[in-house]
């Protein structure tokens, strides 16, 4: 199992110095901060010479504070990672990565000059995509003899130093065939670049929601294959990683495809460690992409692995329908994909209306029904009623297999054969048919 216990947390003083950059801290950080303040109050009280009756209560308070610190000491909180000034960001980024990685970071450190050479100075011809985080360029690393994708973070964009550090740590400590591989990074001066393995087919969004007219639409089996692989990526984060990791940004643009349309999850800047022990959730700032966030997370900030399951349900519905979760170009009642689909989920006779028109009816009907059933379960309003992602994987494993198509084809052939036999029986039972049959035999 992948384990993060090798990583620690920043000291309390570091957290206090960083309040301006991270004004909202998680409950876990608040616990550590409270514990530290209690310890300092005890120290001052001792120096002031408090009377004996009060000392026992202060000792008890100190013991409780120390217990809290020890409890939280071994829990990795990536939200604690922040820096005091721009100069310290530039100077200590490598030290922070080594500190938190505890020698387990195998990603190569590139110079900015090396990545300029690899991408031919980030020319537009090598541009693969662009988003709120910055731009991604295709490149070639001579020393590794490898084609790569280089993500250059926009210094004014959504992804800052904390997210940069989180992504380097996450992708260095987590290893799965369903997660994109981090080749290396660059943190030279103000530059922040991440170097990934190159995924030849781009993102799921490119083929599903931003498909060019000359591109062939994804067929049904490929869609189910992509959904299964993406679900396996979440399964690894939720049930193999220790402690579990909540992805928090599951969407079509973060699912990358190789030359055989095998999917891998990318962009871990918003990933968060999940609840452990008796904890039921993690409280944090609401972050992510509008339309994909689970309702309980959006309203309360309480995050669980079931929040990712909801996001998966949204993307799976996009895969089935070929529609964006938010599309203001459609009629007002169809702007929000989930709102539009909810009444249709309750009427099986209308299931065919949710299938992507670009499929032109080329899909097994029973498979469509089952896929919509999975999506509906993942999109339950109450988090407790949603399935675990491992259950979703089992269901999708069946839907993505060739056995499903073959089985349904055989069932259709059997139904046709039964219908033909029934027609023959009806004809033989009609008056005069027996005489005609005898005449033919003679």
Which among 249, 267, 308, 356 is annotated as catalytic?
A: 249
Q: With both helix axes pointing from N to C terminus, report the angle between 365-378 and 220-235 in degrees, rounded to the nearest 10.
A: 30
DSSP at 336: B
Say whether 14 is catalytic: no
8 burial type by CB count under 10 A (0-12 exposed, 13-18 middle, 19+ buried)? middle
Give the whole-angstrom CA distance, residue 231 versus residue 241.
Answer: 15
Q: Is residue 267 within 8 Å of 149, Cβ to Cβ?
A: no
Q: Which of 25, 77, 37 is nearest to 61 (CA)?
A: 37
Q: What number of H helices and E strands is found in the chain?
A: 15, 12
CA angle 203, 206, 208 (to 5 degrees): 105
Q: Would the CA dihedral through 112, 114, 117, 120 be positive or negative?
A: negative
Q: Beta-strand (E) ranges in 301-423?
A: 302-303
Give the whole-angstrom CA distance, residue 313 versus residue 359.
Answer: 20
Q: Is residue 399 within 8 Å of 370, Cβ to Cβ?
A: yes
Alpha helices (H) in 141-197, listed in sequence order: 161-173
Q: Which of 249, 29, 252 is nearest to 158 (CA)?
A: 249
Question: Which sequence positions are flagged as catalytic?
Answer: 249
């Amino acid at each position: 199992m992948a384990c993060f216990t090798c990583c620690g947390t920043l000291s309390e003083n570091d957290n206090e110095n960083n309040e301006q950059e991270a004004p909202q801290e998680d409950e876990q950080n608040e616990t550590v901060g409270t514990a530290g303040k209690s310890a300092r109050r005890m120290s001052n009280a001792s120096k002031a010479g408090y009377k004996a009756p009060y000392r026992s209560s202060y000792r008890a308070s100190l013991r409780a504070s120390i217990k809290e610190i020890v409890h939280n000491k071994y829990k990795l909180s990536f939200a604690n990672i922040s820096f005091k000034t721009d100069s310290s960001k530039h100077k200590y980024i490598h030290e922070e990565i080594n500190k938190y990685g505890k020698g387990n970071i195998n990603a190569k450190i590139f110079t900015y000059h090396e990545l300029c050479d690899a991408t031919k100075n980030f020319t537009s011809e090598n541009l693969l995509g662009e988003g709120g985080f910055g731009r991604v360029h295709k490149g070639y690393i001579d020393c590794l003899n490898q084609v790569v994708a280089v993500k250059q973070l926009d210094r004014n964009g959504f992804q800052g130093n904390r997210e940069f550090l989180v992504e380097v740590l996450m992708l260095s400590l987590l290893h799965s065939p369903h997660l994109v591989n981090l080749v290396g990074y660059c943190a030279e001066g103000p530059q922040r670049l991440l170097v990934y393995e190159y995924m030849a087919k781009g993102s799921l969004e490119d083929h599903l929601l931003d498909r060019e007219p000359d591109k062939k639409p994804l067929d049904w089996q490929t869609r189910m294959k992509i959904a299964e692989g993406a679900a396996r990526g979440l399964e690894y984060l939720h049930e193999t990683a220790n402690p579990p990791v909540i992805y928090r940004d599951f969407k079509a643009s973060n699912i990358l495809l190789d030359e055989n349309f095998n999917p891998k999850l990318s962009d871990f800047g918003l990933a968060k460690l999940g609840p452990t022990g008796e904890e039921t959730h993690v409280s944090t700032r609401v972050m992510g992409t509008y339309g994909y966030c689970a309702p309980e997370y959006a309203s309360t900030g309480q995050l669980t692995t079931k929040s990712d399951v909801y996001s998966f349900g949204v993307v799976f519905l996009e895969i089935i329908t070929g529609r964006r979760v938010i599309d203001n170009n459609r009629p007002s009642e169809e702007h929000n994909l989930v709102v539009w689909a909810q009444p249709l989920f309750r009427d099986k006779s209308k299931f065919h209306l949710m299938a992507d028109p670009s499929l032109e009816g080329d899909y097994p009907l029973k498979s469509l029904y089952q896929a919509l059933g999975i999506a509906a379960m993942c999109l339950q309003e109450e988090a407790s009623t949603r399935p675990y992602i491992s259950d979703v994987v089992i269901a999708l494993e069946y839907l993505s297999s060739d056995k499903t198509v073959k089985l349904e084809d055989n069932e259709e052939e059997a139904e046709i054969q039964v219908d033909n036999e029934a027609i023959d029986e009806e004809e033989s039972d009609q008056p005069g048919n027996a005489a005609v049959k005898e005449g033919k035999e003679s």
